C-alpha cells in the first residue's frame, strides 16, 4: 500500500476534496431578485408572520425587517473576475 503525501488533499465519499489542498468555495457575489410589490395582501401577510414569530420569541423581533423591502431571491452566483 502506498503512503499518501501530506500535501495531497483527501477525497470524501461524495468526491469532494477536503483537507489542506481543498479549494474554498467561492462566495456569492451576484444576486438576482424580484421585489414583492406593495399591493394585495403580501405585505400584510409578512407582517402577520413577523408578529407571530416575535410573539413566540421576542429575540426574533430584531430579525424582522420592513415588509416594503421584501423580495424573492431568484439566483445566487459567484462570477469569476
Confidence of residue 5 (pLDDT cuts 50, 70, 90): very low
Q: What is the DSSP letter of 64?
A: -
pTM for the full predicted model: 0.52
pLDDT at 1: 47
Q: What is the arithmetic mean of pLDDT over 26-42?
A: 87
CA distance 78 to 66: 28
Q: Give yes or no for a contact between 5 and 16, defined as CB atoms under 8 angstroms apart.
A: no
Taking the C-alpha atoms of residue 55 and residue 61, their distance in angstroms, rounded to an integer, is 8
The ranges assigned to domains in the chain are: 10-77
Q: Residues 9, 23, 33, 81: is their CA dihedral positive or negative?
A: negative
- The residue whose grid cell reads 445566487 is 76
Predicted pLDDT of residue 73? 94
Amino acid at each position: 500500500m502506498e503512503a499518501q503525501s501530506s500535501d495531497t488533499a483527501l477525497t470524501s465519499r461524495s468526491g469532494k476534496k477536503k483537507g489542506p489542498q481543498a479549494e474554498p468555495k467561492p462566495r456569492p457575489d451576484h444576486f438576482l431578485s424580484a421585489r414583492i410589490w406593495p399591493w394585495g395582501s403580501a405585505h400584510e401577510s409578512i407582517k402577520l408572520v413577523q408578529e407571530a414569530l416575535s410573539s413566540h420569541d421576542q429575540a426574533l423581533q430584531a430579525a424582522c425587517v420592513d415588509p416594503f423591502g421584501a423580495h424573492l431571491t431568484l439566483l445566487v452566483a459567484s462570477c469569476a473576475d
